[in-house]
Structure 1
Amino acid sequence: MSAGMVHSFATAAVQVMAVVLAFWYCIVWFVCSIGYYQLRTKFTRFYISKSSRRGLGGAPGVSILRPLKGIDPEFEACISSAFEQDYPKFEVLLCVDSPTDPAIPVVRKIMAQYPHIPSQLFIGAENFGVNPKVNNLIRAYDVAQHDILWILDSNCWVTPGALGRAVDTFEANPSIQLVHHLPLVVDISGHWGSRLDEMFLATAHAKFYIAINTVAVAPCVMGKSNLFRRSQLNKVVPLGIKSFAKFIAEDQQIGDGLWQAGGRHAMNCDAVIQPVGNTGLADYFFRRMRWLRVRKYIVLAATLVEPMTECFLCGAMGATAFSILAGAQWTVFFSLHVVLWALGDFWIYSNLHRHGNVDPPATSLPGTRKSSPTPYFALPKQISGPNDSARWIVSWLAREAMALPIWINAMAGTEIQWRNRLFYIKPDATAVEIKQPGKIQQKTIT
């Protein structure tokens, strides 16, 4: 092969690579634009639920299941929010695995404050697998009075209208078999880990989570808040929730099971708000790494391309492509990309933290259930002045800079630590608990 032919082949290969990179770059921005549009039009407002107005005999009953372990930040407000739902027919089932858990006396006090709401406290977990959350919920799952179950994490606060709107979403389309909510963290301490958790969930995660669920070509579920019908899940897996105790990411597995059976997922305008405090930089790093390690065995393709959806690497790909194809100056293109990406994230963050989808005080809405004042962490959070803006920029840059190192560490290992226990994640996404660090327990989980 002559030197000219080699040169022509190399030039063609570079051009093809540039076209591929440019195509990917445009796809990422297109997905972002779907997230921007949905977040602005859907997740920054609330509406009065039809189901909430139907009365005791007309609304389907709902059992709210809350797994408990210890006392999370603003624990009382988060737990009480389940009791204060503006909905005519529901019960609250609270589950804790240890009789010495410090959450128990607090929960008993909260239950006494709402004697008109049917509620039960279950102490003691079953043992169907390695997932402590699922084991904790099994007893409540089996005896819940209602077919619609709402599994809501204990560290989340929900606005009073959330349940009614979720039921409306369920009943809008018979193919919908799971309703889930946008997770949103609010930093209440100023610690670095809390700030980065807040930044991640209100920018990168929010826009892609919403966009993927809008396009709905594959299941994408995060387990902070999920509603589904027990009868439907039991059709998919006869043992119901017990079947998912062998997985760490039971939320995605439940969603995938319902999806594969023909059901679809839906989100409405509500978010579940998690106040977070006193978490350090290492806490954030290892938490994100943990869930990526689990996720790579569930949705491998999406996990592999994730770095290419982050600001810096995606921008570098776009700058390379358009410098080859259109003669754009690499540094100018990349800098402009980063600025536009940051402005888009700032816009999302600002809109979400205005909490426009939080119901106004219940007393202003005729016929609603009387509830406590909106807690401070669910009130609008304004970014004003140079200090707030500089703090936001530093947090955003830190979050973006850590994305690739977290991903590399996640892809390089198979062990995770969760709730002070060590697990090995198997290729089929099931988990084995490691009783001694560095020595994997050989028990087979079925």
Structure 2
Amino acid sequence: MTYLLNPLCDLGLTPEMGWESAGGYGAALMLMLCLTAIAYYSYAIHAAVVFLKQEAGIDHDFHPPVSILKPICGFDEQTYANLASFCQQDYPNYQIIFGVQELHDSSMEVVKQIIRDFPEVDIQLIVNDRTLGTNRKVNNLASALARASHDVLVLADSDVRVGPDYLQQVVQPLKNPQVGVITCLYRSIPQGWVATLESLHTPTAFHPGVLVSNHLEGAKFAMGSTIVIRRSVLEEIGGFKAIANFLADDFQLGHLSAQAGYQVVLSRYIVDHILPEDTLINALQRQIRWAIGIRVSRSWGYVGLIFSYGTLASTVLLLMTDGAFLSWMLWGLAWGSRVTMAWIVGVRCLQDPVAKSWFWLSPVRDFLSFALWIYGFLGNTFHWRGQLFRLTRQGEMVPLTPRLSNRVKFSPR
């Protein structure tokens, strides 16, 4: 009877074989991680299904005037198309303000061309070297805000591309006066195999976590893909100055607004995130920067990611138990539920082009993600736009090297 009640015995680790040894406890740990991961995958699938069933509810009579703030720093071959998509909105009253720090920034000609090509849109270019803090993107946003004419502010990174119905859809939750911030999920459109490998993680691992968090407690954060925020809310949380030194500035805008008592809403609108062709080193540095930023911003959430690596845990368990039958069953269940989650979230929910082609490789991608997760615990320094920074325990950036000029072409992220 004891043998039947002991799951470790079913894995081939009987007391007579010494399952109470270090190896036995290790197998017990892997078993626990495997089961919790399967539960997590199942809950993420449920959260995605609930998200899909939500009604968009477009009120075409609701269209408050909007100021779009676009921080610009450098450019690539996709920048023009990204910026132009914001100038083609089917929306009655909006303006676009581009904020640039350096007069000779390589993006200047692109922005000037945008202004020439869309004379019917209220577009302004602000060149201002003012420095609120170490985050150059926030410095540009602060400069752009000075020229904003409207109370509804829309912030979106320069590597984001949208459709003509974007503004009409993302502002809808503002009909509720308790809503202070709206943010969006995004689908990746990569250029090259390195960007494809990098972007596979977003729809199949990162966004499932976002949907789980949103379903459990509501969104308490925002993402740089889109942040819609009321000017009054921004002022109440201390303006851009309050986040000027933070790496995760987008997270902070949502987090501080939620702490102030406002609702943060995850929009049904999915934007496109354009990932240009890049080197493997740059891609890894970007992933490391995000890992460190998440660890500092949401420490316990970052630690809790250990419970999402069921593919790794089930593989280790299989090796530790010499291929026991129950281990094979758990391995198949973990990998099967992992692939199902990747398909439901990445393909059905986000319609992500990378997920459509490669969702079945998400369990393998988890091994790289796990290595980056471990690396995220090892230090607080990272590279961003050619500059080395150290991250404090509060999440603020301290520059360790002088910044580079933006006169040369480089990746916008």
- Root-mean-square deviation (Å): 3.2
Matches within 5 A, 1:288-303: 288-303=287-302
In 2 relative to 1, CA 423–22 (structure 1 residues): closer, same or farther, beyond 3 Å?
Answer: closer
Highest RCO, 1 vs 2 (Cα 8 Å, sep ≥ 6)? 2
Distance 1:337 1:109 in 2: 51
Cα offset for 1:137? 1.4
Task: Determine the structure 1 residue equivalent to 2:46.
Answer: 34
Cα offset for 1:348? 3.2
CA contact (8 A) 1:158 1:272 kept: yes
Task: Determine the structure 2 residue equivalent to 1:348.
Answer: 345
CA contact (8 A) 2:41 2:338 kept: no
Normalised by the length of structure 2, the TM-score is 0.83
1:190 aligns with 2:192: yes
Give deviations 1:299-322, integer Å, cap 9, x for gaps: 1001112132134235469989xx
1:49 to 45, 58, 62: 58
CA contact (8 A) 1:38 1:211 kept: no
Task: Determine the structure 2 residue equivalent to 1:144.
Answer: 148
Distance 2:281 2:314 in 1: 27
Task: Determine the structure 2 residue equivalent to 1:358.
Answer: none
Matches within 5 A, 1:355-374: none
Distance 2:31 2:368 in 1: 28
2:366 to 385, 400, 403: 400
Give ranges in structure 1 of 5+ residues lacking alignment. 1-5, 356-379, 438-446
Give deviations 1:194-227, integer Å, cap 9, x for gaps: 1123211121112221221232356232222101
Distance 2:93 2:368 in 1: 45
Distance 1:215 1:260 in 2: 17
Distance 1:432 1:283 in 2: 20
Distance 2:285 2:141 in 1: 26
Task: Determine the structure 2 residue equivalent to 1:375.
Answer: none
Give deviations 1:364-412, integer Å, cap 9, x for gaps: xxxxxxxxxxxxxxxx7895xxxx6xx6645x35522201111111110
The AA in structure 2 aligned to 1:295 is I
CA contact (8 A) 1:73 1:276 kept: no
Task: Determine the structure 1 residue equivalent to 2:305.
Answer: 306
Give deviations 1:1-59, integer Å, cap 9, x for gaps: xxxxx99x969x979979965773454134312343145435xxx95732xx32xxx63
Distance 1:381 1:74 in 2: 18
Distance 2:39 2:244 in 1: 37
Normalised by the length of structure 1, the TM-score is 0.77
Give deviations 1:78-132, integer Å, cap 9, x for gaps: 1011111111111000111111122212211212222221110011231111001
SS of residue in 2 equivalent to 1:267: strand
SS of residue in 1 equivalent to 2:36: helix
Cα offset for 1:352? 5.0
In 2 relative to 1, CA 329–198 (structure 1 residues): closer, same or farther, beyond 3 Å?
Answer: same
Distance 1:190 1:331 in 2: 36
The AA in structure 1 aligned to 2:82 is C
Number of aligned residues: 383
Distance 1:35 1:308 in 2: 17
% same residue: 22
SS of residue in 2 equivalent to 1:411: coil
Distance 1:435 1:244 in 2: 21
